[in-house]
Structure formats: C-alpha cells, structure tokens
Amino acid sequence: MLPYYFKIAARNLWKNRSFSAITIFGLAIGLATCMLISLFVTDELSYDKFHRQHERIYRVNADFLVGDNTFKERFSPALLGEMLKKDYPQVENYCRLTLQGPVLVKHGEETISEKNACFADSSIFQLFTLPLLAGDATTALREPFTVVISETIAEKYFPGADALGKTLRMENRHDYTVTGVIKDVPAQSHLHFDILRAMSEIPESRQSSWMADNFVTYVLLRPGASEAQLNGYLREATARYMDGPLKDMVGNSIAELEKKGGHFGYNAIRLDKIHLHSDLASEVEPSGSIQYVYIFIAAGVIILLIACINFMNLSTARSASRAKEVGVRKVLGSHRSVLVLQFLAESTLTSICAMLAALILVAALLPYLNNLADKHMQLEPAFLLWLLPVVLLVGVLAGSYPAFYLSSFQPLKVLKGKLSGGFKNSWLRNGLVTFQFATAILLIVGTFVIYNQLGYIRHKQLGYNRAQVLVVGNTGALGAQANSFKQEVAQLPGVKGATLNASLPVKTNTSTNIYSKDAAYSPGQVLGIDEWFVDADYIPVMGIKMAAGRNFSPQLATDSQAVIINETAAKLLGFTDITDKYLYAGRRPRKVIGVVKDFNTGSLHNAIAPVTFTLSEIRDNIALRIDPQHTSEILAGVRKAYHAREGMAGQPFSYYFWMKPLTTFIYRKRAPRKSSLVLRCWLC
C-alpha cells in the first residue's frame, strides 16, 4: 500500500510541476540553512572532546584585581602544578606548557618557520589524547633537546622514512632528536601541537618564584573529583604559598587585598569548556561564544519552522483545487485515514526532494562557510545518517495540517461550493501566516542590526591606523643587523615609516609588569600594567596620537629608562600632569615623558587596558606604513634587503598585511595570533 501512496504522490507532484518546484525550493532553502547551522554548531560544541579524559582535565587561570587593575590570564607559576599534585590527593597529574609560536627549522639548505611549537612536560601524554605513531610516551620528552613532532611535520621533513631517532636543527642553534611522532591534532581543539620540545630544556621551568606567571598549567583530577573541589584547593594553595610573597611585593596580604575590594587567586576551567566559555584575552586561537551558539540554534529552528509553515500555507492555499479530488475519493469509499496517509506521503516525498536539493546547496556553500568561519567542516557519514529521521519529521510536520485539513472536506459541502467560507475562517491558518510574517520580520530586523554593527565596526576609530601596514615577521633572527635593515627598507620608494617592535596594537605579544608610584612600593601605590616593547618610530607609524608630553627621541640616551603611558594608565595612576612624574619597576625610576590617547587593544568587547611603552631591543617584527600603489615593489625590496643580511640567505621571509577580518570582531572574541608569545610575568 505504501508504494501506491508514493506513486500517486509522485504523479501529483509532476502534474503540478510549477507549484511543486516552488514548495520544494522553499523547503530546500530552509533545510540547507538549518543544515549549515547544524554543522557549525556541532563543530563548536565538539571542541576538545576527542580527549578521552576531557571531563577530568582543567586549566588553571590567574584572576587578580589589585587596585583598579584587573589581570585575567591563562598563566600560572612554575611550581603550582607540582604543589597541587603533592598536597592534594584528588589531583592525579599535571602538565605545563609554554607556547612558543613559530620556530625556525632547518631543512637541507632551507630554513622554514613552523607554527604551533611549544615546550611541554613529559606528562602531556598522560593528560591529553595525543596518539603516538612512533616512540614511547613515558620517555619521549624527558631529556633536554628532544622533540615530538606531528605526522604532518614528520612527512614534510622525512618523507617515506621513519622519523624516530632523526635530528632537526631549530633556531639555527641546537640539534633536536626526534623521540616521538603523534597524530595530527583534530581541528576542534583550542590548542594544536606540531612541535613539542622538552620542558626541562628551559631554566624557567625550575623557577621557584610564586610571583612569576609564566606557564599554562593543566591538571588531571581523579575520577569523582569536582571543579568546586579543585577551586577550593587552588584557594588553599594560593593562601599557603603566595600570601607572603604577595605582601612583600605589593604591601598587602590576600586578606587585606580582599578587604579593599580586590582579589588574588586562581580558578579552573574544564578543558572542553575553554573554547566556548573562556573570556580571556590571551587564548592562543580564536575562541567561540556559547551565547552565539544558542543564537544560531534558535535561528536554525526558526528558519526551519518558517520553511515548514510556508509549505503548509502553500498546500492549504491549493485546497480549492484539491477539494474535488477529496470529494470524489470519499464518494468512492475512501476513508479519511487513507486520505491522510496519501497527503502525508506527498509531503514526505516533497521533503525528500527538498532534502536532496538542500544537500546540493550545502555542498556548494560549505567551502564558503569554512572560509568565512575559518573552519574545516565536512559532510560526514554520521551527519548524513540523521538526515533520514529529519526528512520524515519535516515531512510529517509540514504535511500534518494540510493532510488533516484537506481530508476533512465534506463531499456535500464541496459540491455545494461552501468550501471557501470555511477556508477563509481558518484560525489556525491565519495564525500560521501571522507567525510566518512575524518571524520573517524579526529575522530581517536582526539582519539590519548586524549590518549596522558591521558599519560601526568598519568606521570605528580604534585609536590607531591599521590600514596600509605591512608586517614582516622573524626580524628577531636579524639580531644586531635589525637596525640597518630597518634603515634600508625605510628608504624604499613608497615606504612612509618603519618600526621594529614586539607588540602590535592587537595585544598579541605583551607582558605585564608591576609598577609603583614610589620607590618603597607603598600599599596602594602598586599597579600591574601592560608593558609594550617598541622603538622610537612606533607611535607615529601606528598612527597613535599623543595626548600630552612627547614621543621617544633617539637623540636622548635617557629615554632608554623613560616610559610613555596611555590615558587609562594615567587615570589609574592619578596623573593629571606628567611633569616630573616617575614610575618604579624593580626599584628603578622611569620618567613618564608622554601620554598617548587611548586605543583599543584587541576586541571591542574588552575595556581599554592600561599600557606603558618602553624602548626595547626586542624586535619580533617590523611594521611598514606603505603606499599601496607600490606594494609589489616594496615587497620585492624588503625581501631582497632581508636576505642580503649576513646569515639570512636561507631564512624564511614571512609577511602579512595588518588588517583583521570583520568576523574576528563579530563572532570570534579574539583575533588570531600573528606573533610568538613571550613569557609573561605579572609579579616578577
């Protein structure tokens, strides 16, 4: 009987081809949109869940409020993990990471810059699910100058050969022995590892200071232990080990700090919640937002409902043309249940056709969505399997009202022409039409709101000029030749200015230093302020405006011990006039010579942070303000000057144009990192 229903349904669809095409296309658009949203939401919700122990792994974050300055980061002291494991039995293990960013790897005569490199404790394999294709997890990262690489890196440098035991020369200084090869980390991870080096190699890993937050610490809890217990342990450990050093540093104990409305401590966030629930500004990769996920889910449900309601309304709108059919079939003895099944078969067949069309649309649009959202989503077999129940559900949902409505026609009323009155007075149909238009208007209004937000972001004055800026990386490898390189490229036609620096105004590579308004570090005089390492040309090249005082001068040797602050820092410090004002860092006086106007550092979601500029020899990159009409000539000239330096002939030349995509402001709360991360020390 079922094949008969579908046969009749196919004939009816073919007979009314124009109407069928309209209903199928409308339903297909809704289904395709819903499928794309489902792929996106599924991808977001799956982050870090490939780790078998993800429900027991937590990251320790710092959360300080000293005075009016807030410090929330993913860093912690070197000793914290070890102390937690020793003092609290519910902590089974720990692992520390120091994310390095790009690292130079020599390959034959060529030097290649590889990203996703970090130092890690050997216990990383006991916490994270990083399957080893070669090597022993218990010994792979125990010895200094050993390295574990991903299968992609292994195939890149040792194609077709066993990488285990081979050597890689890194940073043009040391040879590293490959002691393990891991499978590539899935895309749905807040961390990606391509090169893992032994933590024992760096002296900071043995640092005994509790006031230096230089490491990212993950802990593994024993089964049954809770996040609340871990946070309790962290409070106890902070009070036990850090209360005294904190008092020595800022003049207040933790209890005294809390009486003044501040706080000093650490909290835990579960591994699989980091991507969607972290509000930190220093995540290695762009974070998502659980609120946006909920919005997307609601939008997908609403769009699917609109598509189904549209199908219902179109079907009931044709009721007059189907009335005679229903009447004749009832006269010939058809039961209402048979008619209901017939109409449901039609709606299900329509749903199947719409789903096939939707799959074609999704396959065509998915590459564009991946490019926009910076993802690698695919139509997996598991995703396709649940489409069958969705097809049936949509078919029944969309066809239920037309089926019961059309099958309810009385033959006598149809023959007497009384159908139209009842059709016009259908309260359910009127309600569906009202809902359809109301939700459509809601979505249109939402679209205009988003469009206006894009316009706001596009024209928002950030406090610096990021247009027409070329950034060249790996200038740290130039060493003492960096200044001559800068002078040469600054003379190229079309280059309006050049600056060697470690911190672009996107807060990707900064440290936080402790400053005091007096040499005695008196209570209430101490603040933690972001410290940016720049040269004398940084402020004009970045287009940052001076609010008071002056910029650094290369002709004044005393400026090496001077600082420039932003307006937010001036307000926190209470400086209405910077004449003869000093800040103290490590007991050294630093004269405040200027104040720059506030500028946004990172996302517009975040408040402007206090910032100090310090002259420094740290030269992670060079930023050039250029004339876009000479871009190709400038690139060729900069490349030539870079490789002309002694020892730089085989070095990688990397560059990008410093203009963040709008999507980093809309969905993603942080922009992707474009430079390596230095060790951060908040209280050191």
634 inside domain: yes
Asked whether residue 102 is domain-assigned, the answer is yes
* Residue 263 shares a structural domain with residue 317: no
* Residues 187/376, Cβ–Cβ less than 8 Å: yes
Q: Are residues 273 and 295 in the same domain?
A: no
More confident residue, 110 or 441: 441
CA–CA distances in Å: residue 415 to residues 326, 336, 410, 424, 667: 11, 18, 9, 18, 58
Under the banding of pLDDT at 50, 70 and 90, the label for residue 311 is confident
CA gap 301, 296 in Å, rounded: 9
Same domain, 60 and 36: no
Assess if residue 673 is contained within a domain.
no
* Helix intervals (H) in 505-614: 538-542, 567-573
Query: Which comes out higher in pLDDT, residue 118 or 457?
Result: 118
Which is higher by pLDDT, 287 or 61? 61
Lowest mean pLDDT among 151-155, 344-348, 448-452, 623-627: 344-348
What was the pLDDT predicted at 219? 97
- Could you give the residue ranges of the DSSP H alpha helices within 460-514? 482-490
Whole-number pLDDT of residue 348: 80
What is the structure's pLDDT at 660? 44
Buried b (16+ CB within 10 A) or exposed e, 190-213: bbebbbbbbbbbbeebebeebbbb
Same domain, 207 and 341: no
The beta strand positions in 77-204, using DSSP E, are 91-107, 110-120, 132-135, 146-150, 167-170, 174-182, 195-198
pLDDT digits 0-9 by tens, 522-571: 766 777 788 888 999 999 999 999 999 999 998 888 888 899 999 999 99
Q: Check whether residue 349 and residue 225 sit in a common domain.
A: no
Q: What's the pLDDT at 310?
A: 82
Band (pLDDT 50/70/90 cuts) for residue 232 is very high
Over 90: is that where the pLDDT of 154 sits?
yes
pLDDT band at 510 (very low <50, low <70, confident <90, very high): low
Q: Specify if 677 maps to a domain.
A: no
- What integer pLDDT is reported at residue 536 of this predicted model? 92
Residue 197 has phi, psi (to 5 degrees) of -110, 155
- The reply to whether 376 and 247 lie within a common domain is no
**530 in Cβ contact with 612 (< 8 Å):** yes
Query: Does pLDDT of 662 surpass 60?
Result: no
3-class secondary structure, 642: helix
Decide which of 586 and 642 is more confident: 642
Q: Which of 450, 485, 503 is the last residue of a domain?
A: 450
pLDDT for position 331: 63
Residue 223: what pLDDT?
95
* Residue 314 confidence (pLDDT): 76
**Reported confidence tier of residue 603, pLDDT bands at 50, 70, 90:** low
Q: Which of 622, 624, 617, 675 is nearest to 479 (CA)?
A: 617
Mean pLDDT for 84-104 is: 90
Is 282 inside any structural domain? no
- Assigned domain for 609 exists: yes
By mean pLDDT, which of 129-138, 140-149, 162-171, 509-518 is the weakest? 509-518
Sole residue written with tokens 């000239």: 637
The reply to whether 317 and 440 lie within a common domain is: yes
The pLDDT of 386-415, averaged and rounded, is 71
Tokens standing for 492? Answer: 């190229």
The pLDDT value recorded for residue 540 is 93
Q: Cα–Cα distance between 258 and 242 in angstroms, integer?
A: 14
Model confidence at 678: pLDDT above 60? no
Query: Which residue has better confidence, 134 or 280?
Result: 134
Does residue 683 carry a pLDDT above 60?
no
State how far the Cα of 93 lies from the Cα of 90, in Å rounded to an integer: 9
Report d(CA 9, CA 5) in Å as an integer: 6
User: What string of H, E and C letters represents the secondary structure of 272-314?
Assistant: HHHHHHCCCCCCCCCCCCHHHHHHHHHHHHHHHHHHHHHHHHH
Is 459 contained in some domain?
no
| pLDDT given for residue 268 in this prediction | 95
101: pLDDT strictly greater than 80:
no
Do 171 and 266 sit in the same domain of this protein? Answer: yes
- Residues facing 495 on adjacent strands: 626
**Domain-ending residue, one of 277, 312, 328:** 277
What average pLDDT does the structure give for the chain? 83
What's the pLDDT score for residue 178?
A: 94
Residue 484 sits in the same domain as residue 609? yes
Q: Looking at residues 252-270, what average pLDDT do you find?
A: 87
588 and 643 both lie in a single domain: yes
Question: Is residue 356 located within the same domain as residue 375?
Answer: yes
Name 160's Cβ contacts closer than 8 Å, sequence gap at least 6: none
Domain count, the chain: 3
On whether both 538 and 631 belong to a single domain, the answer is yes
Domain annotation covers residue 682: no
Whether pTM exceeds 0.85? no
Contact criterion met (CB below 8 Å) for 274 and 59: yes
Domain holding 258, by residue range, is 54-277
